[in-house]
Structure 1
Amino acid sequence: MTVTRGDVDADMGSGSGSGSGSGVESGKRPEDEPGAGVMTAFGRQLKLLRLRAGLDRTEFGKRVGYAAQSVASFEQGRRIPQPEFIDKADAVLEAGGLLLALKEEVARAQYPPFFRDMARLEAKAVGLCVYGLYAIPGLLQTADYARAGFELERPLLDEGDIEQGVAARLARQEIYDRRPAPLLSFIVDESVLRRPIGGWPTLYGQLEQMLSIGSKRNVEVQVMPLNREDHAALGGPFTLIDTAQGQRLAYAEVQGDSRLYTGRAMVRELEARYGIIRSQALTPRESSEFIEKLLGEK
Protein backbone atom coordinates (compact mmCIF):
# COMPACT_ATOMS: atom_id res chain seq x y z
CA MET A 1 0.00 0.00 0.00
CA THR A 2 1.30 3.45 -0.89
CA VAL A 3 0.05 6.48 1.00
CA THR A 4 0.78 9.76 -0.72
CA ARG A 5 1.27 13.17 0.88
CA GLY A 6 2.42 11.82 4.17
CA ASP A 7 6.10 11.91 4.85
CA VAL A 8 9.25 12.60 6.49
CA ASP A 9 10.96 15.88 6.04
CA ALA A 10 13.78 15.10 3.78
CA ASP A 11 16.94 16.93 3.13
CA MET A 12 16.67 20.62 2.65
CA GLY A 13 13.10 21.44 2.85
CA SER A 14 12.51 17.90 2.77
CA GLY A 15 11.42 16.19 5.55
CA SER A 16 13.72 13.49 6.02
CA GLY A 17 16.26 15.37 7.04
CA SER A 18 17.41 13.00 4.69
CA GLY A 19 14.26 13.57 3.51
CA SER A 20 14.97 15.30 0.58
CA GLY A 21 12.25 17.10 -0.83
CA SER A 22 11.59 20.60 -0.46
CA GLY A 23 8.77 20.96 1.95
CA VAL A 24 8.94 24.02 4.11
CA GLU A 25 8.21 23.71 7.79
CA SER A 26 6.43 27.00 7.76
CA GLY A 27 4.52 28.87 10.43
CA LYS A 28 2.17 30.55 7.96
CA ARG A 29 -0.88 28.54 7.09
CA PRO A 30 -3.43 29.49 4.44
CA GLU A 31 -7.00 29.13 5.63
CA ASP A 32 -7.63 26.03 3.55
CA GLU A 33 -4.61 24.10 4.84
CA PRO A 34 -5.21 21.25 7.29
CA GLY A 35 -3.24 22.93 10.10
CA ALA A 36 -5.37 26.08 9.98
CA GLY A 37 -8.24 24.49 11.95
CA VAL A 38 -5.97 23.49 14.81
CA MET A 39 -4.38 26.93 15.00
CA THR A 40 -7.76 28.67 14.87
CA ALA A 41 -9.10 26.48 17.68
CA PHE A 42 -5.99 27.01 19.81
CA GLY A 43 -6.07 30.77 19.23
CA ARG A 44 -9.73 31.09 20.23
CA GLN A 45 -9.18 29.00 23.34
CA LEU A 46 -6.15 31.09 24.29
CA LYS A 47 -8.06 34.34 23.89
CA LEU A 48 -11.04 33.12 25.92
CA LEU A 49 -8.77 31.99 28.75
CA ARG A 50 -6.83 35.27 28.70
CA LEU A 51 -10.02 37.33 28.85
CA ARG A 52 -11.38 35.11 31.64
CA ALA A 53 -8.20 35.87 33.58
CA GLY A 54 -8.76 39.60 33.07
CA LEU A 55 -5.45 40.16 31.27
CA ASP A 56 -4.83 42.30 28.24
CA ARG A 57 -2.30 41.11 25.68
CA THR A 58 0.48 43.32 27.00
CA GLU A 59 0.20 42.14 30.61
CA PHE A 60 -0.24 38.52 29.61
CA GLY A 61 2.75 38.80 27.27
CA LYS A 62 4.93 40.07 30.12
CA ARG A 63 3.98 37.11 32.29
CA VAL A 64 4.83 34.53 29.65
CA GLY A 65 7.80 36.39 28.17
CA TYR A 66 6.31 37.25 24.76
CA ALA A 67 5.45 40.54 23.05
CA ALA A 68 1.82 41.57 22.74
CA GLN A 69 2.14 41.32 18.95
CA SER A 70 3.17 37.68 19.27
CA VAL A 71 0.22 36.96 21.55
CA ALA A 72 -2.09 38.54 18.97
CA SER A 73 -0.59 36.38 16.22
CA PHE A 74 -1.12 33.23 18.29
CA GLU A 75 -4.72 34.17 19.09
CA GLN A 76 -5.46 34.92 15.45
CA GLY A 77 -3.93 31.66 14.27
CA ARG A 78 -1.29 33.44 12.17
CA ARG A 79 1.71 32.05 14.04
CA ILE A 80 2.42 28.68 15.59
CA PRO A 81 3.44 28.98 19.26
CA GLN A 82 6.45 27.13 20.59
CA PRO A 83 5.89 24.36 23.18
CA GLU A 84 7.40 26.57 25.91
CA PHE A 85 4.78 29.24 25.28
CA ILE A 86 1.97 26.70 25.59
CA ASP A 87 3.41 25.42 28.89
CA LYS A 88 3.70 28.93 30.32
CA ALA A 89 0.32 30.06 29.02
CA ASP A 90 -1.48 27.07 30.53
CA ALA A 91 0.13 27.77 33.90
CA VAL A 92 -0.34 31.57 33.91
CA LEU A 93 -3.96 31.32 32.80
CA GLU A 94 -4.65 28.42 35.19
CA ALA A 95 -6.11 26.56 32.24
CA GLY A 96 -5.92 23.17 33.93
CA GLY A 97 -4.42 21.49 30.88
CA LEU A 98 -6.85 22.85 28.28
CA LEU A 99 -4.02 24.36 26.25
CA LEU A 100 -1.65 21.47 26.93
CA ALA A 101 -4.23 19.10 25.42
CA LEU A 102 -3.67 20.78 22.04
CA LYS A 103 0.11 20.83 22.31
CA GLU A 104 0.79 17.79 20.15
CA GLU A 105 -1.55 18.88 17.37
CA VAL A 106 -0.13 22.40 17.44
CA ALA A 107 3.37 20.95 17.13
CA ARG A 108 2.35 18.96 14.04
CA ALA A 109 0.86 22.08 12.45
CA GLN A 110 4.32 23.62 12.18
CA TYR A 111 5.19 21.17 9.39
CA PRO A 112 3.92 21.33 5.82
CA PRO A 113 0.86 19.12 5.26
CA PHE A 114 2.81 16.52 3.29
CA PHE A 115 5.26 15.99 6.17
CA ARG A 116 2.94 15.91 9.18
CA ASP A 117 2.28 12.18 9.12
CA MET A 118 6.00 11.53 8.82
CA ALA A 119 6.78 13.92 11.67
CA ARG A 120 4.38 12.01 13.91
CA LEU A 121 5.90 8.65 12.97
CA GLU A 122 9.45 9.95 13.31
CA ALA A 123 8.81 11.33 16.79
CA LYS A 124 7.66 7.92 18.06
CA ALA A 125 9.91 5.65 16.00
CA VAL A 126 12.11 3.09 17.72
CA GLY A 127 14.48 3.11 14.77
CA LEU A 128 15.24 5.12 11.62
CA CYS A 129 17.46 4.41 8.62
CA VAL A 130 18.02 7.63 6.68
CA TYR A 131 19.72 7.97 3.31
CA GLY A 132 20.72 11.52 2.32
CA LEU A 133 21.70 12.23 -1.27
CA TYR A 134 21.10 15.93 -1.91
CA ALA A 135 21.63 17.60 1.45
CA ILE A 136 22.48 16.76 5.05
CA PRO A 137 19.48 14.96 6.61
CA GLY A 138 17.33 17.29 8.70
CA LEU A 139 17.92 15.32 11.90
CA LEU A 140 21.62 16.11 11.58
CA GLN A 141 21.35 19.75 10.52
CA THR A 142 22.64 22.75 12.44
CA ALA A 143 20.48 25.87 12.68
CA ASP A 144 22.76 27.73 10.24
CA TYR A 145 22.66 24.92 7.68
CA ALA A 146 18.88 24.57 7.96
CA ARG A 147 18.41 28.34 7.61
CA ALA A 148 20.62 28.41 4.52
CA GLY A 149 18.49 25.67 2.98
CA PHE A 150 15.27 27.56 3.57
CA GLU A 151 16.81 30.75 2.21
CA LEU A 152 17.59 28.91 -1.02
CA GLU A 153 13.96 27.88 -1.52
CA ARG A 154 12.22 29.16 -4.63
CA PRO A 155 9.77 30.85 -4.61
CA LEU A 156 11.39 32.89 -1.85
CA LEU A 157 10.14 32.47 1.71
CA ASP A 158 9.60 35.44 3.99
CA GLU A 159 11.68 35.79 7.15
CA GLY A 160 8.91 34.60 9.42
CA ASP A 161 8.50 31.37 7.48
CA ILE A 162 12.26 30.80 7.45
CA GLU A 163 12.58 31.18 11.22
CA GLN A 164 9.54 28.98 11.82
CA GLY A 165 11.03 26.40 9.48
CA VAL A 166 14.33 26.40 11.32
CA ALA A 167 12.59 26.05 14.68
CA ALA A 168 10.53 23.13 13.40
CA ARG A 169 13.59 21.44 11.93
CA LEU A 170 15.50 21.71 15.21
CA ALA A 171 12.49 20.58 17.25
CA ARG A 172 12.69 17.23 15.47
CA GLN A 173 16.11 16.70 17.00
CA GLU A 174 14.53 16.14 20.40
CA ILE A 175 14.59 12.53 19.23
CA TYR A 176 18.17 12.35 20.57
CA ASP A 177 16.94 13.02 24.10
CA ARG A 178 14.27 10.31 24.09
CA ARG A 179 14.47 7.37 26.44
CA PRO A 180 14.64 4.58 25.57
CA ALA A 181 16.88 5.87 22.82
CA PRO A 182 15.87 4.94 19.26
CA LEU A 183 18.45 3.32 16.98
CA LEU A 184 19.40 5.77 14.22
CA SER A 185 21.39 5.04 11.07
CA PHE A 186 22.41 7.70 8.55
CA ILE A 187 24.13 7.22 5.21
CA VAL A 188 25.16 10.46 3.54
CA ASP A 189 26.64 10.84 0.08
CA GLU A 190 30.14 12.34 0.00
CA SER A 191 29.01 15.02 -2.47
CA VAL A 192 26.73 16.42 0.23
CA LEU A 193 29.67 16.80 2.60
CA ARG A 194 31.52 18.87 0.03
CA ARG A 195 28.65 21.14 -1.00
CA PRO A 196 29.07 24.47 0.90
CA ILE A 197 25.41 25.31 1.38
CA GLY A 198 25.37 28.52 3.40
CA GLY A 199 29.11 29.05 2.89
CA TRP A 200 32.20 27.22 4.09
CA PRO A 201 31.92 28.21 7.79
CA THR A 202 28.36 26.86 7.81
CA LEU A 203 29.46 23.61 6.18
CA TYR A 204 32.35 23.14 8.63
CA GLY A 205 30.02 23.72 11.57
CA GLN A 206 27.69 21.14 10.04
CA LEU A 207 30.47 18.57 9.68
CA GLU A 208 31.46 19.09 13.32
CA GLN A 209 27.87 18.48 14.39
CA MET A 210 27.77 15.26 12.39
CA LEU A 211 30.84 14.04 14.27
CA SER A 212 29.24 14.96 17.58
CA ILE A 213 25.93 13.24 16.86
CA GLY A 214 27.70 10.27 15.31
CA SER A 215 29.54 9.68 18.58
CA LYS A 216 26.28 8.83 20.38
CA ARG A 217 25.95 5.13 21.17
CA ASN A 218 22.59 4.81 19.43
CA VAL A 219 23.65 6.62 16.25
CA GLU A 220 25.67 5.47 13.25
CA VAL A 221 26.74 7.92 10.55
CA GLN A 222 28.23 6.52 7.37
CA VAL A 223 29.60 8.21 4.26
CA MET A 224 29.03 6.86 0.74
CA PRO A 225 32.27 7.82 -1.03
CA LEU A 226 32.30 9.17 -4.57
CA ASN A 227 34.90 6.67 -5.73
CA ARG A 228 32.54 3.69 -5.36
CA GLU A 229 31.83 2.05 -8.72
CA ASP A 230 28.69 0.40 -7.33
CA HIS A 231 25.80 2.37 -5.86
CA ALA A 232 22.46 0.74 -5.09
CA ALA A 233 20.37 3.86 -4.36
CA LEU A 234 20.82 6.43 -7.10
CA GLY A 235 17.05 6.85 -7.30
CA GLY A 236 17.00 9.39 -4.47
CA PRO A 237 16.87 9.74 -0.68
CA PHE A 238 14.50 7.77 1.53
CA THR A 239 13.89 6.80 5.14
CA LEU A 240 12.93 3.50 6.77
CA ILE A 241 10.86 3.83 9.95
CA ASP A 242 10.53 1.17 12.65
CA THR A 243 7.45 1.65 14.82
CA ALA A 244 6.94 0.58 18.42
CA GLN A 245 4.32 -1.89 17.11
CA GLY A 246 6.96 -3.79 15.16
CA GLN A 247 5.98 -2.41 11.75
CA ARG A 248 8.48 -1.09 9.23
CA LEU A 249 7.42 1.73 6.91
CA ALA A 250 9.27 3.67 4.24
CA TYR A 251 9.18 7.31 3.27
CA ALA A 252 10.43 9.06 0.15
CA GLU A 253 10.24 12.68 -0.90
CA VAL A 254 11.25 14.73 -3.92
CA GLN A 255 10.37 18.24 -5.08
CA GLY A 256 7.82 18.67 -2.31
CA ASP A 257 5.98 15.47 -3.25
CA SER A 258 6.12 12.70 -0.69
CA ARG A 259 5.01 9.13 -0.29
CA LEU A 260 4.65 6.95 2.77
CA TYR A 261 4.89 3.26 1.90
CA THR A 262 3.22 0.65 4.08
CA GLY A 263 3.02 -2.26 1.63
CA ARG A 264 5.62 -4.96 2.19
CA ALA A 265 6.72 -5.17 -1.45
CA MET A 266 7.97 -1.59 -1.69
CA VAL A 267 9.29 -1.53 1.87
CA ARG A 268 11.30 -4.71 1.23
CA GLU A 269 12.73 -3.16 -1.94
CA LEU A 270 13.94 -0.07 -0.06
CA GLU A 271 15.19 -2.24 2.81
CA ALA A 272 17.31 -4.16 0.31
CA ARG A 273 18.70 -0.96 -1.18
CA TYR A 274 19.59 0.41 2.23
CA GLY A 275 21.28 -2.83 3.23
CA ILE A 276 23.38 -2.79 0.07
CA ILE A 277 24.49 0.85 0.32
CA ARG A 278 25.22 0.28 4.01
CA SER A 279 27.74 -2.36 2.96
CA GLN A 280 29.07 -0.18 0.13
CA ALA A 281 29.58 2.87 2.36
CA LEU A 282 32.47 3.53 4.71
CA THR A 283 32.08 2.05 8.18
CA PRO A 284 31.07 4.45 10.99
CA ARG A 285 34.69 4.64 12.20
CA GLU A 286 36.02 5.20 8.67
CA SER A 287 33.31 7.79 8.10
CA SER A 288 34.31 9.75 11.21
CA GLU A 289 37.92 9.73 10.05
CA PHE A 290 36.79 10.86 6.59
CA ILE A 291 34.80 13.79 8.01
CA GLU A 292 37.71 14.76 10.26
CA LYS A 293 39.93 14.78 7.18
CA LEU A 294 37.51 17.12 5.39
CA LEU A 295 37.60 19.45 8.39
CA GLY A 296 41.38 19.39 8.28
CA GLU A 297 41.29 20.68 4.71
CA LYS A 298 39.70 24.00 5.68
Structure 2
Amino acid sequence: MAPGMMVVSPAGQYFAEVLRLLRVRVGLSQNELGTRMNYTGAAVSAVETCAKPATDGFIDAAEHALDAGGVIAAAGKYLRLERYPEHFQGFVQLEQQALSVSSFCTQVIDGLLQTESYARAVLRFGFPPLEEEEVDALAAARVERRALLSRKPRCVINIVIEESALRRRLGGPGVMKEQYQHLLDSAALPHVTLQVMEASRSGHAGLQGPAKLVETPDRETLAYMEANGHSTFVSKPAEVGPLAHRHAMISRQALRVEESMKLIEQLTGEL
Protein backbone atom coordinates (compact mmCIF):
# COMPACT_ATOMS: atom_id res chain seq x y z
CA MET A 1 0.00 0.00 0.00
CA ALA A 2 1.41 3.38 -0.97
CA PRO A 3 2.34 5.80 1.85
CA GLY A 4 -0.56 8.06 2.80
CA MET A 5 -3.13 5.92 1.01
CA MET A 6 -6.36 5.73 3.00
CA VAL A 7 -7.77 2.28 3.73
CA VAL A 8 -11.51 2.20 3.07
CA SER A 9 -13.57 -0.57 4.58
CA PRO A 10 -15.93 -2.69 2.46
CA ALA A 11 -18.87 -1.09 4.27
CA GLY A 12 -17.56 2.38 3.37
CA GLN A 13 -17.10 1.40 -0.27
CA TYR A 14 -20.55 -0.16 -0.39
CA PHE A 15 -22.23 2.92 1.08
CA ALA A 16 -20.44 5.17 -1.41
CA GLU A 17 -21.52 3.00 -4.34
CA VAL A 18 -25.15 2.83 -3.17
CA LEU A 19 -25.25 6.60 -2.77
CA ARG A 20 -23.81 7.19 -6.25
CA LEU A 21 -26.12 4.67 -7.95
CA LEU A 22 -29.25 6.08 -6.34
CA ARG A 23 -28.22 9.65 -7.14
CA VAL A 24 -27.57 8.82 -10.79
CA ARG A 25 -30.79 6.82 -10.99
CA VAL A 26 -32.89 9.89 -10.13
CA GLY A 27 -30.81 12.12 -12.41
CA LEU A 28 -29.22 14.41 -9.82
CA SER A 29 -25.74 15.87 -9.93
CA GLN A 30 -23.65 15.92 -6.78
CA ASN A 31 -24.38 19.63 -6.37
CA GLU A 32 -28.13 19.10 -6.81
CA LEU A 33 -28.20 16.30 -4.26
CA GLY A 34 -26.11 18.39 -1.90
CA THR A 35 -28.62 21.23 -2.16
CA ARG A 36 -31.49 18.88 -1.32
CA MET A 37 -29.55 17.58 1.68
CA ASN A 38 -28.34 21.02 2.82
CA TYR A 39 -24.77 19.90 2.12
CA THR A 40 -22.29 21.04 -0.50
CA GLY A 41 -21.67 19.12 -3.70
CA ALA A 42 -18.10 18.73 -2.50
CA ALA A 43 -19.35 16.92 0.61
CA VAL A 44 -21.36 14.50 -1.55
CA SER A 45 -18.31 13.95 -3.75
CA ALA A 46 -16.11 13.28 -0.73
CA VAL A 47 -18.44 10.51 0.46
CA GLU A 48 -18.88 8.99 -3.02
CA THR A 49 -15.12 8.86 -3.56
CA CYS A 50 -14.52 7.57 -0.01
CA ALA A 51 -12.38 10.60 0.76
CA LYS A 52 -14.46 11.13 3.91
CA PRO A 53 -16.83 8.83 5.80
CA ALA A 54 -20.52 9.66 5.94
CA THR A 55 -21.70 11.14 9.24
CA ASP A 56 -24.99 10.23 10.88
CA GLY A 57 -26.48 13.51 9.69
CA PHE A 58 -25.32 12.85 6.13
CA ILE A 59 -26.81 9.33 6.11
CA ASP A 60 -30.18 10.54 7.34
CA ALA A 61 -30.23 13.50 4.94
CA ALA A 62 -29.34 11.31 1.95
CA GLU A 63 -32.03 8.76 2.83
CA HIS A 64 -34.64 11.53 2.95
CA ALA A 65 -33.42 13.50 -0.07
CA LEU A 66 -33.34 10.44 -2.33
CA ASP A 67 -36.50 8.87 -0.87
CA ALA A 68 -34.41 5.72 -0.73
CA GLY A 69 -36.96 3.48 0.95
CA GLY A 70 -34.53 2.49 3.68
CA VAL A 71 -31.72 1.41 1.33
CA ILE A 72 -29.29 4.15 2.37
CA ALA A 73 -30.25 3.78 6.03
CA ALA A 74 -29.55 0.04 5.81
CA ALA A 75 -26.14 0.65 4.21
CA GLY A 76 -25.43 3.27 6.85
CA LYS A 77 -26.12 0.75 9.60
CA TYR A 78 -22.95 -1.11 8.68
CA LEU A 79 -20.95 2.11 8.61
CA ARG A 80 -22.13 2.87 12.13
CA LEU A 81 -21.23 -0.65 13.22
CA GLU A 82 -17.60 -0.09 12.20
CA ARG A 83 -17.28 2.65 14.79
CA TYR A 84 -17.09 -0.04 17.46
CA PRO A 85 -14.01 -2.16 18.17
CA GLU A 86 -13.99 -5.24 15.96
CA HIS A 87 -14.34 -7.66 18.87
CA PHE A 88 -17.50 -5.82 20.02
CA GLN A 89 -19.35 -5.48 16.71
CA GLY A 90 -21.08 -8.84 16.93
CA PHE A 91 -22.49 -8.02 20.35
CA VAL A 92 -23.74 -4.59 19.21
CA GLN A 93 -25.74 -6.23 16.41
CA LEU A 94 -27.34 -8.59 18.91
CA GLU A 95 -27.99 -5.81 21.42
CA GLN A 96 -29.78 -3.62 18.86
CA GLN A 97 -32.36 -6.36 18.23
CA ALA A 98 -32.50 -7.90 21.71
CA LEU A 99 -35.71 -8.62 23.59
CA SER A 100 -33.80 -8.35 26.84
CA VAL A 101 -30.27 -7.53 28.01
CA SER A 102 -28.81 -8.43 31.40
CA SER A 103 -25.39 -7.27 32.53
CA PHE A 104 -23.08 -7.42 35.51
CA CYS A 105 -20.24 -4.87 35.43
CA THR A 106 -17.32 -4.51 37.81
CA GLN A 107 -14.69 -1.93 36.84
CA VAL A 108 -16.77 0.76 35.15
CA ILE A 109 -20.44 1.52 34.56
CA ASP A 110 -21.98 -0.52 31.74
CA GLY A 111 -21.44 1.17 28.38
CA LEU A 112 -25.17 1.06 27.68
CA LEU A 113 -25.72 3.56 30.51
CA GLN A 114 -22.65 5.76 30.11
CA THR A 115 -22.87 9.48 29.38
CA GLU A 116 -20.59 10.78 26.66
CA SER A 117 -18.36 12.61 29.15
CA TYR A 118 -17.98 9.50 31.29
CA ALA A 119 -17.28 7.36 28.20
CA ARG A 120 -14.52 9.77 27.17
CA ALA A 121 -13.00 9.56 30.63
CA VAL A 122 -13.01 5.75 30.49
CA LEU A 123 -11.53 5.66 26.99
CA ARG A 124 -8.74 8.09 27.86
CA PHE A 125 -7.43 5.56 30.37
CA GLY A 126 -7.14 2.89 27.68
CA PHE A 127 -3.74 1.41 27.02
CA PRO A 128 -2.05 1.69 24.64
CA PRO A 129 -3.32 5.31 24.70
CA LEU A 130 -5.83 6.27 22.02
CA GLU A 131 -5.59 9.30 19.77
CA GLU A 132 -8.16 11.98 20.60
CA GLU A 133 -9.95 11.31 17.29
CA GLU A 134 -10.33 7.67 18.29
CA VAL A 135 -11.71 8.69 21.69
CA ASP A 136 -14.23 10.97 19.96
CA ALA A 137 -15.41 8.22 17.60
CA LEU A 138 -15.63 5.50 20.25
CA ALA A 139 -17.43 7.76 22.74
CA ALA A 140 -19.99 8.78 20.10
CA ALA A 141 -20.53 5.13 19.17
CA ARG A 142 -21.00 4.19 22.81
CA VAL A 143 -23.63 6.90 23.27
CA GLU A 144 -25.49 5.62 20.19
CA ARG A 145 -26.14 2.37 22.05
CA ARG A 146 -28.38 4.30 24.43
CA ALA A 147 -31.01 4.36 21.69
CA LEU A 148 -31.93 0.92 23.02
CA LEU A 149 -33.42 2.64 26.08
CA SER A 150 -36.10 4.33 23.96
CA ARG A 151 -36.50 1.68 21.25
CA LYS A 152 -39.93 0.37 20.36
CA PRO A 153 -40.72 -2.41 20.99
CA ARG A 154 -39.06 -2.02 24.36
CA CYS A 155 -36.04 -4.04 25.41
CA VAL A 156 -36.11 -5.25 29.02
CA ILE A 157 -32.82 -4.22 30.63
CA ASN A 158 -31.37 -5.48 33.92
CA ILE A 159 -27.98 -4.16 35.01
CA VAL A 160 -26.07 -4.81 38.22
CA ILE A 161 -23.09 -2.56 38.97
CA GLU A 162 -20.38 -3.10 41.57
CA GLU A 163 -20.36 -0.20 44.04
CA SER A 164 -16.63 0.21 43.48
CA ALA A 165 -17.31 1.10 39.83
CA LEU A 166 -19.72 3.82 40.96
CA ARG A 167 -17.21 5.22 43.43
CA ARG A 168 -14.44 5.43 40.84
CA ARG A 169 -14.63 9.15 39.98
CA LEU A 170 -13.58 9.05 36.37
CA GLY A 171 -13.44 12.51 34.81
CA GLY A 172 -13.98 14.35 38.10
CA PRO A 173 -17.01 15.46 40.14
CA GLY A 174 -18.82 17.18 37.25
CA VAL A 175 -18.66 14.13 35.01
CA MET A 176 -19.74 11.81 37.81
CA LYS A 177 -22.65 14.03 38.88
CA GLU A 178 -23.99 13.94 35.32
CA GLN A 179 -23.40 10.19 35.17
CA TYR A 180 -25.20 9.52 38.45
CA GLN A 181 -28.19 11.55 37.30
CA HIS A 182 -28.30 9.62 34.03
CA LEU A 183 -28.35 6.36 35.98
CA LEU A 184 -31.23 7.62 38.12
CA ASP A 185 -33.16 8.79 35.04
CA SER A 186 -32.57 5.48 33.26
CA ALA A 187 -33.64 3.46 36.29
CA ALA A 188 -36.91 5.39 36.36
CA LEU A 189 -37.88 3.84 33.02
CA PRO A 190 -40.40 0.98 33.45
CA HIS A 191 -38.35 -1.50 31.42
CA VAL A 192 -35.01 -0.81 33.14
CA THR A 193 -33.87 -2.42 36.40
CA LEU A 194 -30.67 -1.06 37.93
CA GLN A 195 -29.08 -2.54 41.06
CA VAL A 196 -25.86 -1.99 42.96
CA MET A 197 -23.73 -4.77 44.43
CA GLU A 198 -22.80 -3.28 47.79
CA ALA A 199 -19.08 -3.13 48.57
CA SER A 200 -19.70 -4.32 52.14
CA ARG A 201 -20.84 -7.73 50.86
CA SER A 202 -17.90 -10.02 51.54
CA GLY A 203 -18.59 -12.34 48.61
CA HIS A 204 -21.09 -12.89 45.83
CA ALA A 205 -21.74 -14.93 42.69
CA GLY A 206 -20.16 -12.32 40.42
CA LEU A 207 -16.59 -12.65 41.66
CA GLN A 208 -15.62 -14.50 38.47
CA GLY A 209 -16.07 -11.27 36.55
CA PRO A 210 -18.45 -9.33 34.30
CA ALA A 211 -20.79 -10.93 31.77
CA LYS A 212 -23.77 -10.05 29.60
CA LEU A 213 -26.83 -12.05 28.60
CA VAL A 214 -28.87 -11.25 25.49
CA GLU A 215 -32.27 -12.67 24.57
CA THR A 216 -32.65 -12.69 20.79
CA PRO A 217 -35.92 -12.19 18.81
CA ASP A 218 -35.95 -16.00 18.44
CA ARG A 219 -36.08 -16.32 22.25
CA GLU A 220 -32.56 -17.72 22.32
CA THR A 221 -30.30 -16.58 25.16
CA LEU A 222 -26.64 -15.91 24.44
CA ALA A 223 -23.86 -14.93 26.82
CA TYR A 224 -21.07 -12.48 26.04
CA MET A 225 -17.83 -11.84 27.91
CA GLU A 226 -14.78 -9.78 27.07
CA ALA A 227 -11.34 -9.02 28.49
CA ASN A 228 -8.29 -7.22 27.14
CA GLY A 229 -9.77 -6.63 23.70
CA HIS A 230 -10.94 -10.21 23.23
CA SER A 231 -14.51 -11.45 23.38
CA THR A 232 -16.30 -14.75 23.84
CA PHE A 233 -19.83 -15.68 22.81
CA VAL A 234 -21.52 -18.62 24.50
CA SER A 235 -24.54 -20.11 22.73
CA LYS A 236 -24.80 -23.74 23.88
CA PRO A 237 -27.76 -24.04 26.28
CA ALA A 238 -25.73 -26.26 28.60
CA GLU A 239 -23.18 -23.44 28.98
CA VAL A 240 -25.54 -20.46 28.88
CA GLY A 241 -27.82 -21.95 31.56
CA PRO A 242 -25.29 -21.72 34.42
CA LEU A 243 -24.40 -18.15 33.39
CA ALA A 244 -28.09 -17.18 33.44
CA HIS A 245 -28.49 -18.76 36.89
CA ARG A 246 -25.36 -16.91 38.00
CA HIS A 247 -26.82 -13.58 36.93
CA ALA A 248 -30.08 -14.36 38.71
CA MET A 249 -28.12 -15.03 41.90
CA ILE A 250 -26.15 -11.79 41.42
CA SER A 251 -29.44 -9.88 41.17
CA ARG A 252 -30.72 -11.52 44.37
CA GLN A 253 -27.50 -10.69 46.24
CA ALA A 254 -27.39 -7.06 45.09
CA LEU A 255 -29.23 -4.23 46.79
CA ARG A 256 -32.90 -3.89 45.92
CA VAL A 257 -33.74 -1.26 43.32
CA GLU A 258 -34.96 1.28 45.88
CA GLU A 259 -31.85 0.82 48.03
CA SER A 260 -29.65 1.07 44.93
CA MET A 261 -31.21 4.40 43.97
CA LYS A 262 -30.68 5.74 47.49
CA LEU A 263 -27.01 4.76 47.31
CA ILE A 264 -26.55 6.54 43.97
CA GLU A 265 -28.29 9.61 45.40
CA GLN A 266 -25.95 9.42 48.39
CA LEU A 267 -22.92 9.26 46.10
CA THR A 268 -24.21 12.30 44.24
CA GLY A 269 -24.41 14.22 47.52
CA GLU A 270 -20.82 13.29 48.35
CA LEU A 271 -19.42 15.09 45.28
TM-score by length of 1: 0.80
Match for residue 206 of structure 1 among 169, 176, 179: 179
Tell me how far apart the structure 1 counterparts of residues 108 and 222 of structure 2 sit (CA, whole Å).
22
Name the SS of the counterpart of 1:240 in structure 2.
strand
Instruction: Give RMSD over aligned pairs.
Output: 2.4
Higher relative contact order (CA 8 A, sep 6+): 1
Is 2:30–2:42's contact at 8 Å kept on the other side of the alignment?
no
**How far did residue 114 of structure 1 move?**
1.4
| Higher alpha-carbon deviation: 75-84 or 282-291 | 75-84
Aligned position for 2:190: 217
- CA deviations on 1:102-158 (whole Å, 9 max, x unpaired) are 133233222222112111110111111111111110110001011222222223323
Gaps of 5+ in 2: 1-5
Match for residue 54 of structure 1 among 19, 25, 29: 29
Counterpart code for 2:98: A
**How far did residue 64 of structure 1 move?**
2.8
Query: Aligned runs of 1:121-160 on 2, under 5 Å?
Result: 121-160=94-133
Is 1:252–1:260's contact at 8 Å kept on the other side of the alignment?
yes
Gaps of 5+ in 1: 1-28
Change (3 A) 1:70 1:234: farther
Match for residue 277 of structure 1 among 250, 255, 258: 250
Counterpart code for 1:89: A
Tell me how far apart the structure 1 counterparts of residues 194 and 215 of structure 2 sit (CA, whole Å).
18
Counterpart code for 1:247: E
| Higher alpha-carbon deviation: 83-92 or 139-148 | 83-92
Change (3 A) 1:72 1:281: farther
Change (3 A) 1:90 1:189: same
Is 2:30–2:44's contact at 8 Å kept on the other side of the alignment?
no
**How far did residue 66 of structure 1 move?**
4.8
Name the SS of the counterpart of 1:282 in structure 2.
coil
Question: Which structure's CA Rg is the greater one?
Answer: 2
Tell me how far apart the structure 1 counterparts of residues 41 and 263 of structure 2 sit (CA, whole Å).
49
Tell me how far apart the structure 1 counterparts of residues 161 and 51 of structure 2 sit (CA, whole Å).
36
Say whether residues 1:241 and 2:214 are aligned partners: yes
Tell me how far apart the structure 1 counterparts of residues 33 and 128 of structure 2 sit (CA, whole Å).
36
Name the SS of the counterpart of 1:99 in structure 2.
helix
Name the SS of the counterpart of 1:245 in structure 2.
coil
Aligned position for 1:190: 163
Q: Report the identity percentage.
A: 33
**How far did residue 167 of structure 1 move?**
1.8
Q: How many residues align?
A: 264
| Higher alpha-carbon deviation: 61-70 or 148-157 | 61-70
Tell me how far apart the structure 2 counterparts of residues 67 and 136 of structure 1 sit (CA, whole Å).
40
Is 1:151–1:162's contact at 8 Å kept on the other side of the alignment?
yes
Tell me how far apart the structure 2 counterparts of residues 91 and 208 of structure 1 sit (CA, whole Å).
35
